[in-house]
Amino acid sequence: MQVNRQGPYLIFPVKEEWEGLTLQDIFKKKWVLPKKLVHDWRMNRAVLVNGDDHHWNLPCNKGDLMKIKVLQEQDFLVEPQYAEIHILFEDDHCMVVNKPPHMKTHPTEEKNELTLLHAASFHVMASGESRKVRPIHRLDRDTTGAVLFSKHELAGVLLDNQLTKKKVHRTYWAIVEGVPSQKKGTIHGPIGRDRHHPTRRRVSPGGQSAVTHYEVLETSKKMNRSLILCTLETGRTHQIRVHLSYIGHPLVGDQLYGGSSSFYRPALHGIELSFIHPLLEENITMKAPFLDKMMDLLT
C-alpha cells in the first residue's frame, strides 16, 4: 500500500477492499485498533478524509485520501540513553535492531538499567524525533539477535496483531552440547516456573503450552556440539533453552539449564526476523550478523 507523509500526518489512499466502509469499520474490522485509540483520534480530529473531519459515519470510496495524525511528537517510554547498537532496518514506522548480549530488551524493574529500549530511543532522538518507540517482542538478556520495534502507536498495534496471528517469524541458531539423534523434530512441552529457583523455568504439565521446531544444521564430533536452527510457535520465557535442555542438549554456556561454562553466555542468536510491514504491507526479512564469536564454539 502506498503511504505518504505530510508533517505529522500519514496519507493513505482508500483501498478497493475498503470501498463502502466507514472509518469506524476500517479501524475496528480491518486494522483491529483499540477503542481508546480510535476514540482519541475522533475527539482530537486526527483523521481526515479528502480534507474533511466529519467523515466518520460516511462510506469511503476507493481512491479517497485518508490522513491520520500519528507522527506528532510524543514522550519516549523511557529516558533515552546512548549505547552502541546496530540498526538493521528503519523507516518512519518501525525498526529492527541487532541486540547485543548482557542487555535486556526493555526495563523489567524500577532500578536504573540500560536496556535496548533506552538505546533505540536515543537513536531516534539523535535523528531529531520524539516518538513512543516500543519493542514488539523480546529476547532474553544474554540472547543476541534481531528485535522489532514500532515507532508510533498505529504501527505498534498493527505489529502486535501480526504477532498474535503468528505472522512475525523469528529464526534462531543455537549451539548445544552433544549431537541429537534426530535431525529434525518438534518439542511439545508446557513451560512453567521452577518453584525451587526464582528465575528458572521447566517443562511442567501445569505450565503454558509451548512448541519448538528444530533442525540440526551442523555437528562437530570433535567438540561434541551441534548447531541447531529453531523456530517457535509460542514465545514463552526461556523457551528454547528449556526445551533443548529437556531433550538432553542444553545450550553451550547455559549453566542455568545444565550447559557447560565453555562460553560466557547461552549460545543463542536470533539470526532472522521476517514480518509484513504494518503500513506498506510488504514482506520484510532481516538477517542479524553475529556480534561475538559464538560460531567458533563448533571449531
- For the chain, the DSSP string reads ---EEETTEEEEEPPGGGTT--HHHIIIIIS---HHHHHHHHHTT-EEETTBS--TTSPP-TT-EEEEE--S----SS-------EEEEE-SSEEEEEEPSS--SS--SSS----HHHHHHHHHHHTT-----EESS---TT-EEEEEEESSHHHHHHHHHHHHTT-SEEEEEEEEES--SSSEEEEE--EEE-TTSSS-EEE-TTSB--EEEEEEEEEETTTTEEEEEEEESS--TTHHHHHHHHTT-PBTT-GGGT--SSSSS--EEEEEEEEE-TTT--EEEEE---SSSGGGGG-
20: number of Cβ within 10 Å: 10
For the chain, the straight-line distance linking the first and the last C-alpha, in angstroms and rounded, comes to 47
Please list the active-site residues: 140
∠ at Cα 32 (278, 74), nearest 5°?
60
C-alpha cell at 162: 501480526
Measured in degrees and rounded to the nearest 5, phi and psi for residue 35 equal -60, -40
Distance CA 156, CA 146 (A): 17
